[in-house]
């Protein structure tokens, strides 16, 4: 069984642990650099990326996390996707730079900051999991404004990428851990 860490400093790490367990992995809450040892992969959950950054610095976890990501897959959702990006705007803030992409925080704005959308994934996503639309829960989500040449866009919403894979890493600007559809977690586990 794959051991998958869930960064548990802040945010909805409990929901990701349950989703990983449902998808057949062993979730391990990770709060220190030592907790990153012997993990097959890691999830960085949604929450508040600026708060997570402060906690990462406080715990001296920023560099160990970047080092982990140079060797093993990381799946970042929402705030986790922001932390993985190379460029963050609105406002700009430091990030791990493991995914070549630009993200704009809270890109959908205040008026419609949270919603549930039903989106058609890319054929590649359906081929690698199974077919059917995806229920995407957006909560003060970032918008991915640019992806690098090595990115695979696995789903888009209103023309913007919302599920992107680049090499060993995966990001979603929505919250697959909050629905009953386990395909996004299944896809991540298939990469470990």
Are 127 and 63 within 8 A, CB to CB?
A: no
Q: Which of 172, 173, 122 is nearest to 185 (CA)?
A: 172
- Of 79 and 154, which has the nearer Cβ to ligand GLN? 79
Annotation marks residue 177 as catalytic? yes
- Selecting among 78, 104, 165, 169, the annotated active-site residue is 78
> Which residues fall within 8 angstroms of residue 48, CB to CB, at 6 or more apart?
10, 11, 79
Shortest Å distance, C-beta 13 to ligand GLN? 11
Measure the CA–CA gap between 75 and 192, rounded to whole angstroms.
11
Q: Does residue 140 belong to the site contacting ligand GLN (CB under 6 A)?
A: yes
Shortest Å distance, C-beta 86 to ligand GLN? 16
Measure the CA–CA gap between 79 and 81, rounded to whole angstroms.
5
Q: Does residue 79 belong to the site contacting ligand GLN (CB under 6 A)?
A: yes
State phi, psi for 184 to the nearest 5 degrees.
-70, -40
- Of 27 and 45, which has the nearer Cβ to ligand GLN? 45
- Of 26 and 48, which has the nearer Cβ to ligand GLN? 48
Shortest Å distance, C-beta 143 to ligand GLN? 11
Q: Which of 161, 11, 23 is nearest to 83 (CA)?
A: 11
Measure the CA–CA gap between 67 and 118, rounded to whole angstroms.
35
Choosing from 86, 89, 102, 106, the residue that interacts with ligand GLN (CB under 6 A) is 106
Annotation marks residue 14 as catalytic? no
- Number of residues near ligand GLN (by CB under 6 A): 11
Catalog residues that contact ligand GLN under the rule CB under 6 A: 46-49, 78-79, 82, 105-106, 139-140
The catalytic residues are 78, 175, 177
């Amino acid at each position: 069984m794959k051991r998958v860490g869930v960064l548990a400093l802040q945010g909805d790490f409990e929901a990701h642990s349950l989703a990983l367990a449902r998808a057949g992995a062993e979730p391990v809450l990770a709060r220190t650099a030592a907790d990153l040892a012997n993990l097959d992969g890691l999830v960085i959950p949604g929450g508040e990326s600026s708060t997570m950054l402060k906690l990462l610095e406080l715990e001296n976890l920023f560099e160990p996390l970047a080092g982990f990501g140079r060797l093993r897959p990381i799946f970042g959702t929402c705030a986790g996707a922001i932390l993985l990006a190379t460029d963050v705007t609105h406002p700009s803030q430091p990030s791990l730079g493991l995914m070549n992409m630009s993200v704009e925080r809270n890109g959908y704005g205040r008026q419609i900051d949270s919603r549930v959308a039903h989106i058609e994934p890319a054929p590649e996503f359906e081929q690698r999991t199974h077919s059917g639309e995806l229920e995407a829960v957006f909560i003060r989500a970032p918008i991915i404004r640019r992806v690098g040449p090595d990115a695979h866009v696995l789903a888009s919403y209103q023309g913007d990428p919302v599920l992107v894979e680049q090499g060993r890493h995966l990001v979603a600007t929505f919250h697959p851990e909050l629905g009953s559809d386990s395909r996004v977690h299944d896809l991540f586990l298939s990469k470990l």
